[in-house]
Chains A and B, each alone.
Chain A
Amino acid sequence: MLLEVSDLSAGYLGSSVLEHVSLRVERGITLVLGPNGAGKSTLIRSVAGTLRPVAGSLRLDGVPLETLRAHQVALQGVATSPERARLFTDLKVVDNLRLGADLARRRGEAVDWEKTLATIFRIFPGLPPILSQRAGQLSGGQQQAVAIARALAAQPRLLLLDEPTTGLHPVLVRDLLGRIQEIAKDLPVLLTEQNALQTIPLAREVHLLEAGRIVLSGPPERFLADDRVRRAYLGEGAEPPPLTEPPPAAEG
């Protein structure tokens, strides 16, 4: 499974945001770092189909996505956890997850609901007790977990995660990133983040997005060694965490 973004430009009502963005998403975590307003969510929206790109191409295993609408992109096997989770707040948590499974079914996948739940619970052990709560009543961290779980329930071929750790306690961030790393073992994940320090070591490939352009791309080692990245994103003089450090254990 491979997503190829080539020369992508996108924006809103005449104002252009992304310019000539190219990257590949393969199994593992492809990380897009960038400050507020850099265009991370615009990139996610362009891939997911909620924003029609102005130019460039998006190919999922060779299938063009750029002309498809969001629901058609989803039917190609792309699942998204959007910025700020965007759960269906009127629905119970379990019904949010079922909407994910509905997508898998609509794509013709066989869905074993019990097995889907078991897989999700293994990754997010905190979910079983809140299944019958209305999603609107969850905390921010719980919402992020449900949003990712909802996307996983769709049995995606490609997972898009837009800043899933926003607003979470540092311990929860480490926890959630550990779970994302586990998910990315068998799935290509496009992850956007601002939290460079904790996410770079988990990535297969990192891209730095500034003002709508990719200004630096490479493997984590290169990023952690780059002076500019260290100054601007890791704090001047910060010691990069050793790459050999074992990934944070998924607790529970």
Chain B
Amino acid sequence: MPVQGKNKVSGKTKLEIAVYAAVCLAILALPLVLHDAFLLNKYARYLVLGILAVSLSLSWGYAGILNLGQATTFGLGSYCMAMALKLKTIPIHTGADGLPDFMVWNNVPELPWFWKPFYSMTFGVAAGIVVPMLFAALLGWFMFRGRVTGVYAAITTLAAMVVVQLLIIDQQAYTGGFNGITDLAQFDVAGFTFDAYSSSSYYLVAICLTVSLFLALAVTKSKTGLIVQAIRDQEDRVRFFGYDVALYQIFIFSVSAAIAGLAGMLYTIVMEFASPTFLGVPLSLSVVIWVAVGGRQSLLGAMLGALVVTGTQGALSESETFLDSWTLIMGLLFVLVVLFLPKGIAGAVEKLAGKFGHRRAAPVPPPQLQPQRTEAVANTRHAESLS
């Protein structure tokens, strides 16, 4: 392993890290000025969705894998946490034999084997990350080894989500079915309880957000992250350098799933339940919209996109007039962004910053070079249409 201390971080990366840190600090500082428990809970919820957006940006923006089922791994994480929290309520919300209430109603004689390890909170938290990761690795294995890409990959992820959701709804006796898993205990670590309506849960979410954001940033800045972006650009070219393309895709897909799983666990903590709607098509498509609006090739942009869109949605849906028209507004917003800001808000900001920063630095190309440049573009266009 190379010595990293010797390598200078480029100026652009330094600026990026500074901006990321500033945003995270601002988020972490919010409870200092905001004391309304209800609002803190609401903002914590938005931040969780921000983490989910970061996870999609990693696979869609960086690896070019449009995961229309990003909510699958989010939901799996959420259920793992809910199972662990449910078992902690024994015997308050359980029947005579220490069974979760919905199992009693469904005449389940004893706790199924796959519920038993969830007596351990440590296991629950680990499962909330490992289960989504394994799911993604397995799905990725079939998709990427079989060279399923583009639209077909997107449809596959969507189909997989629908299957998992149906399974959860169908297995009511073990999953709570339509109702999900409700009446949970509060999450606690070593005696410290995270009340969903308090600054402690907000801090928990904000810290997890910061960690995920910087972890994802580190991945994208590594050579592995660069190779993943190269795969997005020209899969074949990467392959013929000796990189195992499918393995890289499976890797990034799994990392993305792990972050989504973490978000799912946090969602259960702040919402105090898990529901099959967490693995739903509406949520999954919403994530795609947030990420597109914020800028899919920017982790921070995607996260802010989620905050802005869900925040606006939250504000508008409180007024009667907008409740119904919200879906329409969201659709319109999406179309506008796709048409006018293909790289989202982050892309637009970067472009503006670049214009100001490089106005003098970037020389106008000598005139004789220009026809060649357009020719190059035309050529590669042609090439793309051929391949």
Are A and B bound to each other? Answer: no
Chain A interface residues (CB < 8 Å from chain B): none
